[in-house]
Every structure is written in C-alpha cells, then in structure tokens.
Amino acid sequence: MFHYTSIAEYHARLQEASLTCVQAVEHYLTQIRSKPQLNAFIDVYADEALAKARELDRQRLEGTPMGRLHGVVIGIKDVLAYKDHALTAASGILKGFTSVYSATAIERLLAEEAIIIGNLNCDEFAMGSTNENSVYGKVLNALDESRVPGGSSGGSAVAVQAGLCMVSLGSDTGGSVRQPADFCGIIGLKPTYGRISRYGLIAYASSFDQIGIFSTTVPDAALLLEIMSGADEFDSTVSHREVPAYSKLLNGGEKYRIAWLDQALEHPSLDPEIASGIKQKLEALKAEGHTVQPEKFELLDYIVPAYYVLTTAEASSNLSRYDGIKFGHRTAAKDTDLTELYKRTRSEGFGKEVKRRIMLGTFVLSAGYYDAYFTRAQQVRQLLCRKMDELFKSYDFIIMPTSPVTAFKAGEKTGDPIAMYLADIYTVMANLVGCPAISIPLSTHSNGMPFGLQVMANRFDEVSLLRFSQQLHS
C-alpha cells in the first residue's frame, strides 16, 4: 500500500526498490477517480503521467542518477502554462486555449523529473477566496464537503489535502496559497515577490503575483522553492540573487525575535478561538526561549481597500488582452463591428466577479478618480513598506493569523463581496510589501475545521522563514 509522507522518504523507497513511480502514479489516479465530487482537477493527464513514470522507472533501474524531483507527482493550478496542455484560468474566455510554451517554474520542475498529473481548479483568473468563481464549478473542502476549500487556489489545496498528488502549485496575489492552505490544514508558502519567475503565470496583478507551493511538509516546500527560484531572462522582475539550498538549511534550534501586531490579534473580525490559539502559541514560543513582543500597528484597516484598489487596477489592464481576437473564446454573434465583437466576447466569456473587478479597476484608474483612489492606495502601500522595513530591523518574523475565520460554508459569502474581501485582511499585507509568508497548520477549531498560523519574514529571507517553519511543524 502506498502512503506518502515526504519526497525524501518516497525517494528512499524508490531506491530500495520497494516502490515504483508507476505504482505511485496509479495510486494517485485511483484516489482522483474515487473523489470526483471534490472537483479539484480540471484535467488529469493519466496516460502521460503513467508513460513518464514508466520511463523514469526504466532509467532508475538502468542506474541513471535520479533528478531531485524524480517521480514526484505534482498538480498545477490552471493559471500556469504547460506546453501543449489546455490553460484557461478557470474562465470561459480561455476555453479552447492550449499553451504554446511552459512556464519557467514548470520547466524547472520537469527538468528535475517531476510528473505533472493534471491541472487544478481555481477561482477565475485567481480572483476569489472560496473557489466558487470557477467556470468548472466549485471545489469542496475534503474535511467537510459543505465547506469551501478557500481560494483562489482551492483545487491545488484540496489536491494535497485529500492525497490526490504529493505537492501542488498555486499562485498568490493576496493570499491565494496561504488562505486555502489554512482552510485545508496543510502548508502554503508564498515566496518573496520576484523569487520565482512569473513567466508563464497568467497575470492577475503583476506587482503582487507570485507562484506558491502547497505541501504537507516543510522540506518538500523548501525543495520545490529551491528548484523553481532564480534568475530568468523571460521575467524582468525576477530577482538575480543567488538561490540558497533551502532544503539543506532547515535544521537548527535558533531562537528568533518575533513580533505580533496588536491590531491584528485584537481585530473584531478575528474568531476568538483562532485568537486564543495564536496567543497560546506565542506564549509557548516565548517559553521556548524566543523573544516574542507586541508591536503597535495602526494600518490594518487600510490594507484591504488598498489591495483591492491596486489589484483591480492592474487586473483591468492585464485582462484587456482577452478580446476575442488573440486567445480562446470569440462570440458567435455575426455582423458585429469590432467594438461590438469585443463587448460580446468579453460579456460572454468573463464571469461575474472578474467583470466586477475589471469595472472597479477601470473606475479607479479613470482620470477623474485616479488621485482619489489609485494614488492614495499607492501611498498606503508605501507606508506599509516603510513600516515593515522598520519592523524587520528589530524582528525576524511577524506572526499573524492566516484568516480571521475557518473555512466558510459554501455559498455563505457569495452574496456579499465586501465581506468576502474583508476576510483577506491578514494575507494581503505580504503581497503589498512583497515579503515571503507561510501558513502552517496550528490547531483545530471546535467546529472541526483546521486553522493555521501565518509567519511573515523580511524580503528574501526564506532561509530563516523555512528554518523557523520546520521548528513549528516538526
């Protein structure tokens, strides 16, 4: 019987020949088939994955050295380009579109012999917090199917939560990896902005977007990060900094300087059980010898509005390319002039939430309102960056909840977009300032659902973030 624990243990079993890659892939295909109601996968590349597994088994038996992700079964969010595979961002507007190249991150996984088993459901264009905005229908939380898995990378979270693949990729513009990880009881890592190339990641808000990782162990996340990170000539915003061997730097008993923000833990929207779970954890960390201190923070109520002004502005520009001419869907209506063709194509192709955000973004960028909204939101972003720079002079980490509540019931917030947006209160900060952040499972609420702890570190300090995460999770 196959039981996955970590990449290292899987590799050890392959090497001692008590398991093959084909057996692993067959196991996941069976699991995927047994849970169709979760709706995590859009496409399953069954034949391809099996063929690749056979090839890897053959090479290994011949004595070829194993790649660092040899036979690792990975699912990818439907916003990542994988050459010759359908790519739709869970949107009607990209129906029928096939990738003509692969994202750099995907190329790097494949170069290390990963097996991509399929692409995963998500909110349309990664806009949402519940995975209810997908043209393929909603995704269910495997721990309680009446609840959402979180979003926008809901399929990626559930695929790992329910054991449908070993690790998965998502994208995180405002929490879309950390929040579903929190709702599903797994690990979700958003690296520093620019750590991983965005080439081949469908853009939502380009100055926020970052590819992220879902896993059940810290070493697995560290290994994927190490493989995907680093300079790439196809993304001018990616960092050229050297990539540390994250996966080899995880162990150490350092005592860290940790801050928590008074306003974050005292916020009225925070579930009292989550607040007390986090406070207890802070006490425990103190008892273990870490320095744990409260810090005054007064900007919390500005960050969700700033995030939604800036990201919708960027989205309205990024999504202008879907016009019925270059990609995917084009209206079937005949006798239309060009403007009418654009209008009909976009009206038919985009879902409600995406339309709402394009309109919001167009509004905040319009000449008459630009200064009142866009410029002000940029100022808030600047203030936040300054505040974080100041905090990271004295601290290694900031600890916060990942989400103010546990997984919502399906449909609970769909009628109230503002309430949905406000629940992003703890995750959008890391994207506004570009810092890396991780959600680590912490405890279980009396409602039976898991909740996590979010740790944020200074830009490009993934080494400390992962070392500390390893302490927290082991």
Residues that bind ligand GLN (CB under 6 A): 126-129, 152, 171-176, 204, 311, 424
Judged by beta carbon, residue 69 or residue 358, the one nearer ligand GLN is: 358
Residue 124 Cβ, how far from ligand GLN at the closest point, in Å?
10
Whole-number Å distance between alpha carbons of 459 and 257? 16
- Report DSSP letters for 405-462, one per residue: SSPPBTTSSTT-HHHHHHTTTTTHHHHHHT--EEEEEEEE-TTS-EEEEEEEE-TT-H
Task: Say if residues 119 and 76 touch (Cβ distance below 8 Å).
Answer: yes
Whichever of 19 and 425 has its CB closer to ligand GLN, that residue is: 425
Distance CA 39, CA 154 (A): 10
Q: Please, what is the minimum distance in Å from the beta carbon of residue 175 to ligand GLN?
A: 5
What is the rounded distance in angstroms from the CA atom of residue 377 to the CA atom of residue 306?
Answer: 5
**Least spacing, CB of residue 335 vs ligand GLN, in Å:** 37
Residue 460 CA to residue 423 CA, distance in Å, equals 26
Residues annotated as catalytic (active site), given as ranges: 77, 152, 176
Complex with ligand GLN: residue 282 or 425, whichever CB lies closer: 425
Minimum distance of ligand GLN from residue 178's CB (angstroms): 9
| Residue 67 beta carbon to ligand GLN: minimum distance, rounded to whole angstroms | 30
**Sign of the four-CA dihedral 197, 200, 203, 209:** negative
CA dihedral 200, 203, 208, 210 (to 10 degrees): -30
CB of 296 to ligand GLN, least distance (A): 27
Q: How far apart are CA 246 and CA 212, in angstroms?
A: 15
Q: How far apart are CA 425 and CA 307, in angstroms?
A: 10
Residue nearest to ligand GLN (CB): 176
H/E element, 31 = helix 21-34
Q: Distance between CA atoms of 338 and 49, rounded to whole angstroms?
A: 42
Nearest Cα residue to 278 out of 438, 466, 451: 451
Q: Residue 21 CB, nearest distance to ligand GLN (Å)?
A: 32
In the chain, the amino acid numbered 237 is: T
Closest approach, Cβ 42 to ligand GLN, in A, equals 17
Q: Which two tokens stand for residue 105?
A: 């991150």
User: Which CB sits closer to ligand GLN, 174 or 351?
Assistant: 174
Residue (123 or 232) nearer to ligand GLN, CB: 123
| Residue (57 or 209) nearer to ligand GLN, CB | 209
CA dist 149 and 131 (Å) reads 7
32 contacts 23 by C-beta, under 8 angstroms: no
Shorter beta-carbon distance to ligand GLN: residue 86 or 422: 422
Distance CA 318, CA 93 (A): 14
Phi–psi pair at 400, nearest 5 degrees: -145, 170
Q: Which is nearer to ligand GLN, 307 or 342 (CB)?
A: 307
Alpha helical stretches, state H, 199-337: 218-228, 262-265, 272-287, 300-318
163 three-state secondary structure: coil
